[in-house]
Amino acid sequence: MELTVYDKARNPSRARKIVLYDDKNHLTTNKEPLVVNEASKESGYRWITSALREETDGKSRLTLSWKGRYTNPVHVSQGWLYRVDALPDVIDDDLVDAGGNRTIHAVQHSNGTVGYRLAFKVDKQGGVGLDPGANFGEDNNVTIRELTESTWGGFGYDAFQTTLVMTKLTSNDTIVIWMRAFDIIGNYHEDRVQIGFDTSPPEIDTDVPAVLQKHPSDPYKSR
C-alpha cells in the first residue's frame, strides 16, 4: 500500500506499508527427517540402543538436527520474502516502512521458515498423554545451543541443530520432542517425535521351546 500526501504548496510526502495476505498454511516438510543423532538409523531414529557418553555433570545430552526439513515453497517461489524495490525520490527507505515483521527489506529465512520453537519432556510411561502445555517455561534466546527439559526454546531462521540436556536417562525412558517451524505470517508446522531409550539385550524365555515345523503346503518352506 502506498500513500502520497501533499501540502498547500503541492509538496509531496510518501508512505507505504507492505501487507501479505495468505489464508492457507503452506509450511510443509521435505524428506529430511527430524533426527536425534544418538538414535539408531535401523530403528527409523525412534530408539536409542547404545549407551550414551558419560558427562561430568551426570546429565544426559542428545543432539537434535532438522537441517533442510522445513519449507514454505509458496513464499519462496512467489518472491514474498525479497526486498521491495525502492521508491523514486525516497532517500531513506527505513523512514518509509520500518515496523512489523514484513517491511520493505528482505526477510531472512531458510527455505521460507523464519524461526523455530522446540520443547521436550522425559517420562517412564511411554510418552502417553504428554502434551507441551502451558506449564512449560520459555527461553526465546535465538542463540541458544542447549535446551533444558519442559522449556520452549526459541531459535532463529539459521538454526538447524541443538543439544537437549536432561537428567540421566535410564532404560525404558521415553523422550518426546515437539518442534514448530514458523513462516513470516506466523503459521507453523509441528512435528511430534517420540524416542525410546533401551540398551538392554532381548531375553530368551527358555521355558518356551523354539520349534521349527514343516510348512503344511510347501515342502521348501518352514515355520
61-85 average pLDDT score: 93
Q: What is the pLDDT of residues 165-219, one digit of tens each?
A: 999 999 889 999 999 999 999 999 999 999 999 888 777 666 666 666 666 676 6
Domain boundary assignment for the chain = 2-197
pLDDT at 46: 93
CB 168 within 8 A of CB 159: no
Residue carrying C-alpha cell 512467489: 78
Residue carrying C-alpha cell 545451543: 145
Residue 41's SS3 state is helix
Partnered with residue 175 across adjacent β-strands are 122, 195
19-31 average pLDDT score: 88
Say how far apart CA 157 and CA 105 lie, in whole Å: 16
Say how far apart CA 193 and CA 27 lie, in whole Å: 18
C-alpha cell belonging to residue 65: 538436527
Query: Residue 115: pLDDT band by 50, 70, 90 thresholds?
Result: very high
Residue carrying C-alpha cell 526454546: 153
Examine the pLDDT at 144 and tell me if it is beyond 70: no
Say how far apart CA 118 and CA 178 lie, in whole Å: 6
114-127 average pLDDT score: 88
CB 137 within 8 A of CB 150: yes
CB 146 within 8 A of CB 196: no
What beta strand segments (E) does the chain contain? 2-6, 12-16, 28-29, 35-36, 47-48, 60-65, 70-71, 115-123, 137-139, 146-148, 151-156, 161-166, 173-182, 188-197
Share of the chain above pLDDT 90, in %: 47
pLDDT at 102: 80
